[in-house]
Chains A and B, each alone.
Chain A
Amino acid sequence: MTGLRDAPAHVTARYEMVVGLEVHVQLRTKTKAFCSCDATYGAPPNVNTCPVCLALPGALPALNREAVHLAMRAAHALGCTVNPVSVFARKNYFYPDLPKGYQISQYDRPLALAGRLEIGDGDAARTVGITRVHMEEDAGKSIHDRYPGATAIDLNRAGVPLIEIVSEPDMRSSADAVAYLTALKQILEYIDVSDVNMEEGSLRVDANVSARPHGATALGTKTEVKNMNSFSGVQRALEAEFERQCTLLERGERVHQQTMLWDGSRNEVRPARSKEASHDYRYFPEPDLPPLVLDPQWIDAVRRELPELPRARRERFAREYGLAAADVGVLTSTPALADYFEAAAKAHGDAKAAANWVMGEVLAALHISNESIQHFRVAPAPLARLLDLVRDGVVSHSAAKRVFAVMAETGEPPERVAEREGLVQVRDADELTRWVDEVLAEHPAEADRFRAGEKKLLGVLVGLVMKKSKGRADPRRVNQLVSERAGG
């Protein structure tokens, strides 16, 4: 395939990329979709299994209502119409990690249809159509590299509820695809239906991609690209496949409809073996489950219970707190961070100060400790009290950063930390005067030069006083005092 890669820019420039995405999302339910096994990630292999998800002879599925609830929530958040009647279907294929020999999915009557997702900001903002959202169950995991010459099967994941979100072919670049995935991940986090963690496999992406000359209206032949395990992997895989297709088209050859696998380590796509690509899934309605009939009142109730979604929250933050678009983007990136900011801002009163602290100190601390905001030791209320102390001149801005560092370490309240660490600003005139006099006495040469008019030495002297006070002196007062006492 190497000959088809790295198409020159003047070739790809003649074509337009068309992308549609199929995203699988694990729903965060306590139990699996069709049995009462624990659905959480990370248990030892094959512990979370039972006759149903092992597909023992005679076992039958019973639908988990919470999975339906979360699937509906996602469908509503994506603006879909939830069908009052949808039908489960069997997708038949043989694979060792598929215990029943079929996957329970939905086919011609899915849970929800016709939604949309807004991606990008400002001038780059656009809408991507959502074709459908349907429910299905996950397969188990095949582990090929653990035992030499054998494949190990872990069925903990078998039967975990999934939704598949299928987009329209509305994206025109790999950047669009990443923007779509970012927006989708964010919305799913906001409605709290999934861990949306691509590394743990709770979010998986397959891409349908085709190329066509600019200005063409008909779609080119598409290929399906699989096996990406990060957003940047999606981006690079789409670029690689697009270049491959452009080169083929430029040579007057045809693109074959096939499945391509992304190999991130080699930075290339290659065709899946034809066996993997040519399944006839023999879909038919799942006879073990009656049609999924949803009470219209329940459908409505789930729609009404939706929390504020990212777009609405961004608009409100800009409006209510007067924050710049870039800051709003950072603060609303996850619902937990937005909640944190909002709580601190409300408690403190000065939203801009709170925003600066959250975007600066808080995110830096989280970054260093690799923690999530939910588990951060400094809650919004103590952070707000620390900001109050700064505003009221009780601690200096620089001392506040040290107080914050201790709070992040120990979880103690700011007042106690400032007191114990001696970081409460000293504004007592006698004490400040004593420190200034001592510095002037200890550095007579500098003092003399300052008195002689070398005003730039003011900073040096103030710095020495600050150092002597271990940062506790109020710098504005020290400034005044140095001039007074040295000037004499």
Chain B
Amino acid sequence: MTEPTAVEAVTASFARMEAVRAGADGLNCVLWSDRERALAQARAVDARAERAPLAGYPVAVKDNIATLDLPTTCGSRILEGYVSPYEATVVSRLRAAGSVVLCKTNCDEFAMGSSNENSAYGPVRNPLDPCRVPGGSSGGSAAAVAAGIARIALGSETGGSVRQPAAFCGVVGVKPTYGRVSRFGLVAFASSLDQVGVLGRTVDDAALGMEVIAGRDPYDSTSADCPVPRYREGAIRSMRGLTIGRPAEYFPASLDPRVTALCDRALDAFRALGAQVRDISLPHTDLAIPVYYIVAPAEASSNLARFDGVRYGLRVMGDDGLRAMYERTRSRGFGPEVTRRVLLGTYVLSAGYYDAYYKKAQEVRACITDDFRRAFASGVDVIFTPTTPSPAFELGAKSDPYEMYLNDIFTCTANLSGVPGISLPIGHVDHLPIGGQLLARHFDEAGMFAAAYALERALGEDARR
């Protein structure tokens, strides 16, 4: 079968957008798109002398990643209509490889949320069940892939925002090692946790996307100068002799037994491939959510200070000078969840509270990182866990912020420690997909992808649809 041309792929994607009603009157996963411009770019790709590796892979890009031609609003009123005059490094790399940006995808405002209900532009619906959430914050990107609009989408992670929606939508989502992918052009939520991630229909699509976007970028001082292996070569790697860690903390007695059963089946598949499964402990896991909800809001409170109505985005004047303008702009521009986190973050960094909250949280964070270091040092190659404790829930089902925060319970440890993680479908509960998560050593995405390829193949089509 010949690969489609860029024009064919883009044309098909826009047709699919219409067919599934991707806009505000339907799934609401696509916020901004420009068919003619996308087609013009596709023609330019097809006119290249050599076939571009991603010519057949137009991408959907989360709305918190800067693109030249389409708005970048972060799902927020405060950036309504804002178009970036520069492009994120990850987007430039995709374009250079022949990919065309199809659309900007809906997301929780400034990537703060786990259900995509926090977007100023309305919630996204799960393509598998429109009464349910797609997960968040990269819910629009996960939905776009699940609905067949794009084979690859860019998302971003701070606490699980790629893996959790991937799990809820039955697709593959990758969060690379902190520093593996440039953050230049990713609108910062929590700088020490943020990474751009890739969503794809298959492990192979995700691996292909990662190969293109990974690698050192001089514009991001936290990006690592570390060679990028060919992740797709992991497709043929044997699992024989590999040790898979099963951390007790991720399989609590309270976990839905049907989720446990799917995980056991996945671990059995690894055993069948010649891997060994070992019970391990990551003892500080229960502290991850509290630590995350100190560190992330603290950094967010500072990162979001630039949205002040002075240079770009929304400005609401008051009749009482500068301070009133700041207060009105930010009060109207930010939604309730963003406001909550900015206030929380401002509080934990305040004089007299810094040591008790932020400093202590960083110390505990180091313990969480050390948990992983010990596990991998003890000979574990890859850790397997469920991505989330339960499948996608109904819109409006979780109104308590803390209950919502618990969605990230199995994912935010990878962000706090910086290790790479991938979520892939491992089966269904109540006809809804459940994701299994593989975590690996820092910068060992290659090992992580190899295990994901093996598991995907072993579980077969059934696990996916």
Contacts and interface: CB of A to CB of B under 8 A. Distances in A.
Contact of B302 (A58, A102, A280): A102
A463 B350 CA distance: 84
B349 A54 contact: no
A41 interface: no
A322 interface: no
Given A51-B85, A58-B188, A60-B219, A284 B308 contact: no
Nearest to A100: B306
A290 B220 CA distance: 10
B397 interface: no
Contacts of B298: 284
Listed residue (B85, B305, B349) with the most chain A CB atoms within 10 angstroms of its CB:
B305
Interface string B166-197: 00000000000000000111111011100000
Interface stretch (A90-98, A180-188, A323-331, A390-398): A90-98
Interface in A58-108: 58-63, 90, 92, 94, 96, 99-102
B379 interface: no
B308 A56 contact: no
A61 B221 contact: yes
A284 B351 CA distance: 11
A57 B72 contact: yes
Interface string B76-105: 000100101110100000000000000000
Nearest to A286: B191
A60 B220 contact: yes
A55 B311 contact: yes
A268 B179 CA distance: 53
Given A96-B322, A151-B322, A288-B188, 12 more contacts: A51-B85, A55-B311, A56-B86, A58-B184, A60-B219, A61-B221, A63-B221, A92-B305, A96-B308, A284-B354, A287-B192, A289-B221
Contact of B191 (A63, A96, A99, A287): A287
Interface in B251-309: 298-299, 301-302, 304-308
Given A56-B84, A282-B350, A92 B221 contact: no
Listed from nearest, the 7 A-B pairs whose CB atoms lie closest are A101-B305, A287-B191, A282-B349, A287-B192, A57-B187, A58-B185, A55-B306
11 contacts: A56-B66, A57-B84, A58-B64, A101-B304, A282-B351, A284-B298, A284-B349, A287-B190, A287-B191, A287-B222, A287-B299
B11 interface: no
A54 B313 CA distance: 13
A272 interface: no
Contacts of B31: none
Nearest to B185: A58
Contacts of A289: 221-222
Contact of A62 (B186, B219, B326): B219
Contacts of A90: 302
Interface in A277-296: 280, 282-284, 287-290
B76 to A, nearest CB: 10
A283 B79 CA distance: 27
Contacts of A59: 86, 184-185
Contact of A58 (B186, B192, B301, B350): B186
Listed residue (B79, B85, B306) with the most chain A CB atoms within 10 angstroms of its CB:
B306
Contact of A57 (B79, B192, B220, B354): B79
B358 interface: yes
Nearest to A102: B302
Contacts, number: 103
A481 interface: no
Nearest to A275: B323
B179 to A, nearest CB: 9
Contact of B221 (A54, A60, A282): A60
Interface in A249-292: 280, 282-284, 287-290
A355 to B, nearest CB: 51
A282 B184 contact: no
Contacts of B354: 282-284
A56 B312 contact: yes
Interface of B: 64-66, 72, 74, 79, 82, 84-86, 88, 183-188, 190-192, 218-222, 298-299, 301-302, 304-308, 310-312, 322, 326, 346, 349-351, 354, 358
A290 B221 contact: yes
A282 B311 CA distance: 23
A153 interface: yes
Contacts of A63: 221
Contacts of B187: 57-58
Interface of A: 51, 54-63, 90, 92, 94, 96, 99-102, 151, 153, 280, 282-284, 287-290
Nearest to B86: A51
B346 A282 contact: yes
B191 A101 contact: no
Contacts of A92: 301-302, 305, 349
Nearest to A97: B310
A284 B6 CA distance: 46
Contact of B66 (A58, A62, A99): A58
A94 B308 contact: yes
Contacts of A284: 298-299, 302, 349, 354, 358
B183 A57 contact: no
Contacts of B346: 282
A283 B351 CA distance: 9
B310 A96 contact: yes
A329 B228 CA distance: 61
B221 A62 contact: yes
Given A61-B221, A96-B310, A289-B221, A101 B72 contact: no
Contacts of A290: 221-222
Given A90-B302, A284-B354, A57 B221 contact: no
B305 A94 contact: yes
Contacts of A287: 190-192, 222, 299
Contacts of A96: 308, 310, 322
Contacts of A100: 305-306
A287 B183 CA distance: 12
A288 B306 contact: no
Contacts of B85: 51, 56
A288 B221 contact: yes
Contact of B305 (A60, A62, A102): A102
B456 to A, nearest CB: 33
A51 B220 CA distance: 13
Given A57-B72, A99-B306, A284-B349, A62 B218 contact: yes
A246 B82 CA distance: 56
B119 to A, nearest CB: 16
Listed residue (A57, A59, A61, A102) with the most chain B CB atoms within 10 angstroms of its CB:
A57
Nearest to B223: A60
A290 B225 CA distance: 13
Nearest to A151: B322
A290 B191 CA distance: 11
B326 A94 contact: yes
A153 B310 contact: yes
A288 B186 CA distance: 12
A467 B299 CA distance: 83
A58 B219 contact: no
Contacts of A151: 322
Nearest to B110: A57
Contacts of B88: 58
Nearest to B312: A56
A101 B302 contact: yes
A57 B82 contact: yes
A94 B326 CA distance: 9
Nearest to B88: A58
Contacts of B64: 58
A448 B221 CA distance: 94
Contacts of A94: 305, 308, 326
A281 B199 CA distance: 39
Nearest to A55: B306
Contacts of B86: 51, 56, 59
